[in-house]
Structure formats: C-alpha cells, structure tokens
Structure 1
C-alpha cells in the first residue's frame, strides 16, 4: 500500500510538471508570433504613390497590428520597373503594384495592361470588364501558367492624354515627337509618327527640360499636375487614347502562401480601398484641373480627324488578337462590351 501511494504521488507530480511546461511553451509561442514583413514596390514615384497606394498600405499596417508589415518602395527605388516581374519571381521583392506591360510580365495578356488603345472610355469600364465580363478569370488563367508570381487583381487609374512642350492640334503635329509612354501605347502611337522613349520615372521631368523629350503620354491632367510634369510642359491634349489605365497587384507566390487567410482578406480589402480612392480622385481632378488649372493650355484635335486614330485602333486590336487564342478572347470581350455601351447611349457612350 505504501509503495502504491508513493507511485501515485510521483505520477501526479510528474504529470503536473509536464502540464506546466506545456502551458509555458504555449504561452511563449502565443507571445512571440513570427511577424511577416513584405517589400512592395509600386510603379509610381513618391508624389504619385502618396495617392495611388500609400493610404491603403498605411491602413493595412495599422489594422494588421504587428502581425504583418508592408514596406512600400516607389518607382525604381529597389528594382528598375522593367525588371520588377523577374525580381518578384526570385523573391528579391515580395509584391508589386504596376501594369503588366511595364513590368514585362511573361504572359500574353500583358499587352492589355496599362493603356490598350480605346479599350475603355471611362474608369468604371475597367472593374466592369474584370468583374462582369470575364477578364478576371482570363488573367487568373494566364498567371496560373507562370511559376512564382500570383496575380491578385486589377483596377482603374486615369486616362492617357498628352502633355507637350509644343501644341498638338492635328495628327501632323505628332510626327517626330519624342514621347515618354508605356510599351503598348508607344507601339500603337508609332503609326502616327510618335517616337516612344523609355526612361526611369524620376528622369522624365529633367528629360523634358533638356529637350530629350518633347512630351509625355503617361496619364491624365491630375497626375501631370500632382507629380510636377505640368511645370515643364505647356499644353494638354484633351483627346485621349484610352479612358483608363489598367493596373494590377502581384505577389511572390511563396510569400503569398505564407500569409494567413485573415491577412489575405485584409490586403484585398485595402486593394479595393485604393481602387475606390482613385475613382473619385482622378474623376474629380480631371474635370476640375481642366477648368481651374492655370499651368497647361488645352488643345484638341477635331473629332473628324481624331476618328482616324480610333479606326486605326480597331486594326491594332485585330493584330493583337491574332497573337494567341487568349488574346482573341480578350479582344472579343472588348468588342462586345464597347458595342453594348454604344447601344446603351448616354451616359455610357456619346
């Protein structure tokens, strides 16, 4: 009986010690979760990033409460924009905000990122095309074929207008103009004599001042004013070649997989918040600065002459459609959507 009592006592003490140790270990683990840190680079320079992404990233970091921190870097700060996709694949950076075109994404649909000529008329066209007309599924399909990078979603930015040193009042005035623009937009504009120029974002202002550039076709008047390019150009062409830039968010696939589901949802909500902010910031700014702005003189190419550019865009669409069956599907969606908008009439199309 004495031996039995001693055995039970020793067993109780041992189990209590093990339980205490286990509880202590659990307590230590709960107090020291591994913090996730991302480096995200945007296409935008500091003045522009303050609007197109920084508020949403600040909100994410605040709500994440130390579980995750996103460190934001601006255009070319860590990696040249044209190398962003490969850098993200390698894990040099964790995430990117840009258009597919500028970062040389190795997918056939990258040609539609940025400014695909006349694919949209207004910024609201972009979310409708992605969420109601099937572009989201096509983009997910395309990036599903690429290892190492996950496409997270797209949104709309501003229209693509010209800001130039000399006025553009006819198609003839485009000839020989050295213009900073996006790859696909530049390819299209060569049909009218434009010479596309690629430069680091931060070098654009000086390049206009030194005469290396004759102008810019990179944004609308809100951005020209915000980033300072309206200070070195004189004229703003009201005709645009696209109603809205298509930009996306991307992440290194391994790093995205490490993020807990609740933080993934938080990041997506912050993406949507950024998309919403831009809708009213650009829409209001484009109108207000045209009317009240003092830095740029407005010029316009007559509608009958500008139709030449719109007609040429249709030929450009057909050429791109032939490059892959998936590109054909995208072009078919653009055709269907724009035909429906035209038939709907004002305010959808005039």
Structure 2
C-alpha cells in the first residue's frame, strides 16, 4: 500500500462527504470491531493511542463505527496480537512488528533494527522510501494490512542493577530486550529475555533478570523501574526509533465501506503524529524527575557501542545471505539511512549541536 496515495485518496473522500452526505449515510452501517493491543492500560501513551483512535473513528462515523479496545490478556496475550488479527479472532490490533521476528526476522524492520533509522528517517522511509509497501507485502502473506501507528522516538538503553563499564560486564547478563537486539547482544555474552511489558517490573524486582529496557523516561517512570535498578543507560542503539503498527485483517478491511476505510486511515495518521509529539514533550520532563529521584544516568562506552555495531553488521550480513525478504528491507533501510545522514550532517546536526552547546554555556 502506497501511503501517499492512500492519504490523497482519504482527503478526496472526506471532501466528497460534504457533497454527498445522504448517499454516504446509506453506506455507513453500524459496526462493532475489537482492537487488541500488546500494551498495558497503565501507559497513557501506547494504550491511550488506541483509545484516541477508537474515539476518532466513532466521532467521524457519527458513532456508527464503534471499536472496543482490549489490553493484554483480555482477549489474547501481549505477544499474540498479530496472530489474533491474522486468524480473525479480532478485526484489528496494535503491536510492535519486532515482537514477531519468530515468523521472519524481516518483521523487525517494521519497528526498529540496531543502528537503523531514527524517527524522522523512519517516517520518511515508510511514506516516501517504499518502506510501507514492502512491509505490507510481508504482512500480506499472513492476511494482514498494516498502518503506521506512531513512533516512540529514540529509546533509552535500559535499567541495570549494576554498572556496565566494559564488554566483560555484559557476559552472563540476563537482559529483557526487544527485537533483533537480543540476537546481537547474545554474541557479546548477554542472555536475552523476552518478557511482556506488564511482567518486566516483577522480573527485575525478584532478580529473575539483571536489566531491562522498555522505552524511555516517561513510560519507564510510570512502570517504576528506578525502584529496583538505579543505573539508566543510553542510547538504546537497537532502537534509534520504535515504530508501532495498527494491524487489520485484510478480509475484514475489504468488507469495510470505502468511507470507513478513509476514516480509519485518517484516524491512524492522527494517532501516529500525536504519539510522537507526546513522547517528545513528556520525556524531557520525565528524565529530570528520574534524575532528581536518584536515577544514575550512564552512557554506554564506545567499546560497547563499537562491538555492538560490528556484531550487528555480522549478523545482518549472515541473515541477508539466506533470507531474501530480510535482504530487501535491510538494503532499503541502510541506503535510505546513509543518504539521510549525508543531508542531516549538513544542516540538522549542525544546528542541533550548536544549540546544545549554547544551552550548556
């Protein structure tokens, strides 16, 4: 699906509703759909995005198209949302693509890969770099259509019970981490753990794991990780951005009246823009509160970053040699990333770096 064409069509369809309201009214049946999300209700960011989406669709349809939002475990567990949409247990779901790399490692590119795209690059790649079309080819093999549903922006490196100063400190570390990062870190001696969001805190508190990453200051503060792991590392090099998706069963999408398809498209776009702005606005204040409460900010050393970069490059070269889908997405994102950084270093990075120096001065 071409996102630009879809949005252009959406605008045209909305304009037409003002002219042909009676005809459209006849084509808007009362519908009730269910949306399952991987994210807990305690997060007004991610879970709240689903509520915003459902309200927008209801309002646009004059309350005819109602979407119920269900948290992890209410219909299916957090990591089974994609499958629930594919088998039509629910009509739609919200999740992170990289939760499903067990199906195909190429799924990681829908959310984030280590040393991949940043938030603006991801948005541009999806809309104008062919990214969304390629991902929907992948999702389409499972009977699913995907819509970008907001980006959490660059993520932190996580909460650690002890300091991580050298590569040796990583060996044997039980670390809750998402996506392909676990496969990269395992090459450095880490023991990666896949744990749903709602189960991270008790695992960290009990010492079942030694460290955990989630998103960033605002959500991490809500989940209380500071109480059980004081060292807060950055950057989360495995998630220079983290893009979420709204998944819709393809057969159910085809049954929707065109005007409802337009409403869903518009609402998803609104949510995507709002989510990124919300994280940018709220992380800035949350990081100050966390530091004031005792969080010990620590950067990953260059040795750790360099070793992680090499391990990533080695892993991706191996996977690309065997997996054509992964290879296509990998080559597309890396070429797009490299070209973007050629431009960003001319103006964006120069401006940002200067402003940071001025503020510090």
1:314 aligned residue: 313
1:297 aligned residue: 296
RMSD: 2.5
Asked if 2 retains the 8 angstrom alpha-carbon contact of 1:179 and 1:216, the reply is yes
Q: Distance in 2 between matches of 1:277 and 1:110?
A: 24
67-76 vs 197-206, greater mean Cα deviation = 197-206
Alignment of 1:216-231 (within 5 A): 216-231=212-227
Q: Which of 169, 186, 189 matches 1:190?
A: 186
Report the alpha carbon displacement of residue 95 of structure 1 after superposing the two structures with TM. 0.7
How big is each residue's C-alpha offset from its partner over 1:179-217, in whole Å with a ceiling of 9 and x where there is no partner? 222242212211222211223332221111111121212
1:56 aligned residue: 53
Report the alpha carbon displacement of residue 31 of structure 1 after superposing the two structures with TM. 9.6
Asked if 2 retains the 8 angstrom alpha-carbon contact of 1:115 and 1:182, the reply is no
249-258 vs 38-47, greater mean Cα deviation = 249-258
Q: Distance in 2 between matches of 1:33 and 1:54?
A: 21
2:176 aligned residue: 180
Question: Quick check: 1:240 aligned with 2:236?
Answer: yes
Q: Distance in 1 between matches of 2:318 and 2:190?
A: 19
198-207 vs 131-140, greater mean Cα deviation = 198-207
Asked if 2 retains the 8 angstrom alpha-carbon contact of 1:42 and 1:73, the reply is yes
Question: Quick check: 1:37 aligned with 2:32?
Answer: yes
TM superposition score normalised by structure 1: 0.82
Q: How many residues align?
A: 319
How big is each residue's C-alpha offset from its partner over 1:306-340, in whole Å with a ceiling of 9 and x where there is no partner? 22222322222222322322322211122212222
Alignment of 1:1-350 (within 5 A): 34-48=29-43, 49-103=46-100, 106-107=103-104, 109-120=106-117, 122-146=118-142, 148-153=143-148, 155-160=150-155, 161-241=157-237, 242-293=239-290, 294-295=292-293, 296-344=295-343, 345=345, 346-348=347-349
Q: Kindly tell me: are residues 43 and 158 of structure 1, through their superposed partners in 2, closer, same or farther at Cα, counting changes over 3 Å?
A: farther
Q: Distance in 2 between matches of 1:169 and 1:239?
A: 14
Report the alpha carbon displacement of residue 53 of structure 1 after superposing the two structures with TM. 2.7
Secondary structure at 2:284 match in 1:
helix
TM superposition score normalised by structure 2: 0.80
Structure 2 unaligned regions, length at least 5: 1-24, 354-361
Secondary structure at 1:44 match in 2:
coil
Report the alpha carbon displacement of residue 96 of structure 1 after superposing the two structures with TM. 1.0
Asked if 2 retains the 8 angstrom alpha-carbon contact of 1:84 and 1:103, the reply is no
Report the alpha carbon displacement of residue 154 of structure 1 after superposing the two structures with TM. 5.5
2:10 aligned residue: none
Secondary structure at 1:250 match in 2:
strand
Q: Kindly tell me: are residues 50 and 95 of structure 1, through their superposed partners in 2, closer, same or farther at Cα, counting changes over 3 Å?
A: closer
Q: Kindly tell me: are residues 68 and 199 of structure 1, through their superposed partners in 2, closer, same or farther at Cα, counting changes over 3 Å?
A: same
Report the alpha carbon displacement of residue 44 of structure 1 after superposing the two structures with TM. 0.9
Q: Kindly tell me: are residues 103 and 94 of structure 1, through their superposed partners in 2, closer, same or farther at Cα, counting changes over 3 Å?
A: farther
Secondary structure at 1:102 match in 2:
helix
Secondary structure at 1:218 match in 2:
coil
Q: Distance in 1 between matches of 2:64 and 2:216?
A: 37
